[in-house]
Structure 1
Amino acid sequence: MQTYTSYKTSNIEWIGEIPSHWKVTKVKYIADIFGRIGYRGYTVDDIVEAGQGSIAISPANIQNDIFKIDNSTFISWDKYYESPEIMIFENDIILVKTGSTIGKTAIIPKDCPEMTINPQLVVLKNVKIDHKFFYYQTLCDYFKLSFEIEQTGSTTPTISQEKINSFPVLNLSYLEQQAIVNYLDHKTALIDELIIKKEKKIELLKEQRSALINHVVTKGLNPNAPMKDSGIDWIGEIPEHWERKKIKQISKIISKGTTPSTVGRELLDEGEVRYLKAENISDNKVMLFPSFFIDNETDKILSRSKLLENDILLVIAGATLGKVAILTKEFIPANTNQAVSFIRLKENHNVKYIWYWLSSSILQQQIWIDAVQSAQPNLSMENLGNFCFTFPPLFEQKDIVKFLDNQTTIIDKSIEIETQKIEKLKEYRQSLISNVVTGKIKVF
């Protein structure tokens, strides 16, 4: 690793020493910052269809510090032309200044259509140093840390343009800036290519896992078993001796929860009874965080939705519709809200088999097909109870669960290994950018 011949203090703790011929300045001296002025904000009435206005860039358009045009929101041309200072062009640098993704940043590529920003972002224009070098500075640890230190607001973090203007920026010769940009462009492209390959491998593993579950819960483990028509197009043929049943035929209860506020009660940060929301169901299991609680009195009032061990929880409303998990002992006592249904089976010994069925991609597709598409997708209790599935004899259910537990564990472990490799590559990428941009590593 090559370093510079001499260093000096930057007088900024989270930057450390820099090459002795470099300078530290501030954002306001090397760029102009613009945001959407309050009275020029927009409402839902200003949102239009694609082709009828300009793109209004939101934090969702910044993915892994890269600008993405997919899934954009559009606002009227009147609103676009009302604020020329925030019209977005090639090499502009955009920063998220409000919300959970505060500090995300991207540089605008060439050949983009007409665009502006929404109130959560600011744009940096008229940059007096190499645009790409400044962009790499916004990716550095010290720049991200500046956001963490200066942001305000506990519920919704935000930062003022004045604060961003005071962020430190390193200034050096243009030739050095270009050399650093060329080096980082090359190195990060190689790293990004490796990350993409790992992500594709994970997707293939997930597809393999999904196909395995679909096959086993519809065809069984015996490839030579005589087959019959299930009578359901999306299931196809099933072993001749298997039954076809509906969820409601094997369930004691199919119900959903209630929001405490509807009965004059409130959620707590701490309490006696865990209160589970759709956010607590992820990766086919119940998650501890985010944590919500209710007291015993509220639990009594909401006794209809008091949960028991081995209840199957299924998200029936919202963007995570279809997420499913089995409630285990460590989460008891617990209750839930109206976005989560719970299925309590007549016999607990087949709960894992039913869980595999509900998590299969063929049933997940049916959940989305049957959901009412209004402001948000919503699945009724009636439709849930009427879902059909294959019902083999108990001994086969146990064999299927044992087989799938073993095989999915192997696949999940492979996914975990690849995910860890991706995280290490991202950490290396971040470290490389920070070390090169702050002069810890000399690249020319």
Structure 2
Amino acid sequence: MTAAIAYPSYRQPKMRWLPSVPEHWNEQRAKTFFREVDERSKTGQEELLSVSHLTGVTPRSQKKVTMFKAASYVGSKLCRPGDIVINTLWAWMAALGASKHVGIVSPAYGVYRPHRVESFNPAYLDYLLRTRAYIAEYIGRSTGIRSSRLRLYPNQFLDIALIQPPRSEQDQIVAYLRAQDAHIARFIKTRRDLISLLIELKQTIIEGAVTQGLNSATEKRHSGIEWIPQIPAHWETSKLKHVAAFNPSRSESAAFRLSDASVSFLPMECITTDGKLQSIETRKTSDVWEGYTYFRRNDVVMAKITPCFENGKGGLLDTLPTEIGFGTTEFIVLRAAEQRVRPAFLAKLLSLRTFRVLGADAMTGAAGQQRVPLGFVKNFGIVLPPLGEQDQILNELQTATAEQDVAIEKIRGEIALIREYRDCLIADVVTGQVDVRGWQPGPEDVVDDAALAVLGDDLEDMTGEEGGDGED
């Protein structure tokens, strides 16, 4: 890390969202540097690329995505190294970036090729174009009837002013930021590893309580279920389909559609790997009624696609901010039969490691797109204590896992803070608020591309969701 040093002199930029920029930096409209290209694939065999607000332009093969692959990609847009690729519909979320690859993207995306390859270091643009100042510009220039339908068309992007440091400074900025990213990535990895250990400890506590009860001296009997040989003698056995309704019909909430009320929107990344809900959006019912999975408050959701299923993505929707909500089609929704099982107890059963391991073994589908069969979930054998005992177990678990919960939330807070710091650092450096021309890498500034991948993995939170990627 280097001490913050300002440039000797600054000037006011043309773009209103930017702070003052170094006086000697160039600033021209994007059309000065780029032109739109519409080169199409004749075979559809080029590498399929993902365009995300989380990680920019990345090979789809390296992503944990949940979209179905198309039957053919003939006619997809080709992009090449150095091209800027923009998801027209999600530019307002910064779903764009500079490509490092020859590959194909959706025909609906914008592809912009530099007039002169030496004008920009593509990595510098990749940092710059996803800063908050530029996101504000995309939002201001996009058109659409509502925020979730804003589109940034080519003439609008090409009219945006781009700041251009001398190429040598761009290269230095990229080297500096990559070194800082390496430090941040290593920090995040150690914290994520600790979270995984704490979640595993929680799982051990939970699995013992929901399969054996709180009193180890209770008389036992054979369960008849292979994965739980012995259970308390007074507990009953069942299959999930007998204690929960699956994927309730959205027609029960037709009134919400008629009124176009605000409802919760829950992409996969809004659920943590220990079942907590975070950063839930609200959208109008008309935006999500078709093409998304419906649920209500206190329903239980679980991911059905790999690797989200194995990682325990899902949980009880008890903190859903609205009565109903919609989310990714990769959710299975279960509604507890209240006379048999508490919703929270059902959520604990679906979080068990044994359930996830057996479900992963039962998965079907092509590699990378495998899903747990609904039949497996419906016919999964479980054990149920009486409702009163379920309440006791839930209360005891809340106390028994409180220490882990507090520690996990503290670590997540640390990761959020370091990410906020990273965003601010990038913005300051790429806009010239900090002069890094004198920075020299030290032995601790080792940059490992594999290690840097943790930055994207952490943002996606092992979700398989691309967030701003849309359908390719």
Q: TM-score when scaled to structure 2? A: 0.68
- The equivalent residue for 1:10 is 13
1:54 aligns with 2:46: yes
Give the counterpart of 1:116 among 96, 104, 112. 104
Instruction: Identify the match of residue 357 of structure 1 among 349, 366, 382.
Output: 349
Distance 1:404 1:263 in 2: 37
C-alpha change, 1:33 and 1:197, in structure 2 (3 Å) is farther
2:182 corresponds to which of 189, 192, 195: 189
Is the CA contact (8 Å cut-off) linking 1:267 and 1:292 kept in structure 2? no
1:290 aligns with 2:282: yes
Answering whether residue 140 of structure 2 is matched by residue 149 of structure 1, we say yes
Q: Closer, same or farther in 2 for the Cα pair 1:425/1:344, shift >3 Å?
A: same
Structure 1 residue 435, shift from structure 2 partner: 1.0
**Conserved 8 A contact 1:8-1:19:** yes
Shift of 1:159: 0.8
Pairwise CA distance, 1:178: 2.4
Distance 1:229 1:120, change over 3 A: farther
Q: Which residue of 2 aligns with 1:131?
A: 122
Equivalent positions of 1:174-253 (< 5 A) are 174-222=167-215, 229-233=222-226, 235-239=227-231, 241-246=233-238
2:12 counterpart of 1:26: no
Structure 1 window deviating more from structure 2 (338-347 vs 181-190): it is 338-347
The offset of 1:372, in angstroms, is 9.3
Asked if 2 retains the 8 angstrom alpha-carbon contact of 1:151 and 1:158, the reply is: yes
Separation of aligned partners in 2, 1:369 and 1:423 = 34
Tell me the equivalent position of 1:166. 159
Deviation at 1:405, TM superposition (A): 0.9
Aligned residue-pair number:
402
3-state secondary structure, aligned to 1:139: coil
- Mapped partners of 2:198, 2:183: distance in 1: 23
Superposition pairs of residues 257-276 of structure 1, within 5 angstroms: 257-260=248-251, 266-270=257-261
Q: Distance in 1 between matches of 2:319 and 2:430?
A: 49
> What is the CA distance between 1:392 and its match in structure 2?
4.0
Give the alignment's Cα RMSD to 1 decimal: 4.6
Match of 1:441, SS state, is: coil
Aligned residue in 1 for 2:402? 409
Q: Which runs of 5+ in 2 are unaligned?
A: 287-293, 439-472
Highest Rg: 1 or 2?
Answer: 1
CA distance in 2, matches of 1:95, 1:10: 24
SS at match of 1:218: helix
Post-superposition shift, 1:357? 2.1
Q: Does 1:99 align with 2:85?
A: no
With structure 1 as the length reference, what TM-score do the two structures score?
Answer: 0.71
Q: Aligned in 2, Cα 1:166/1:191: closer, same or farther, shift over 3 Å?
A: same
How is 1:259-338 mapped onto 2 (pairs within 5 angstroms)?
259-260=250-251, 266-270=257-261, 282=271, 284=275, 290=282, 313-315=299-301, 323-325=314-316
Give distance in 1, aligned partners of 2:424 and 2:319.
Answer: 40
User: Are residues 440 and 324 of structure 1, via their aligned partners in 2, closer, same or farther at CA, if it must alter by over 3 Å?
Assistant: closer
Question: Aligned to 1:158, what secondary structure does the other structure show?
Answer: coil
Distance 1:396 1:77, change over 3 A: closer
Which digits, 9 at most, give the CA deviation of each residue in 1:335-359, with x for residues without a partner?
A: 99997442232267x5543442244
Report the Cα offset of residue 199 of structure 1. 2.7
Q: Is the 8 A contact 2:302 2:350 kept in 1?
A: no
Q: Which has the higher contact order (CA 8 A, sep 6+)?
A: 2
Structure 1 counterpart of 2:151, one-letter code:
T
Distance 2:152 2:414 in 1: 33
Q: Distance in 1 between matches of 2:241 and 2:424?
A: 56
Map Cα deviations across residues 61-115 of structure 1 (whole Å, 9 max, x no partner): x6434624425857868647xx6xx3423x4443332237742233444xx5x51
Distance 1:249 1:433 in 2: 50
Give the Cα–Cα distance (whole angstroms) in 2 for the partners of residues 59 and 65 of structure 1: 5
Structure 1 alignment gaps of length 5 or more: 48-52, 295-304
1:65/1:106 contact within 8 Å kept: yes
Match of 2:46, as an amino acid? S
| Preserved contact between residue 221 and residue 232 of structure 2 (Cα < 8 Å) | yes
Supply the distance in 2 between the matched residues of 1:120 and 1:143 (Cα, whole angstroms): 21
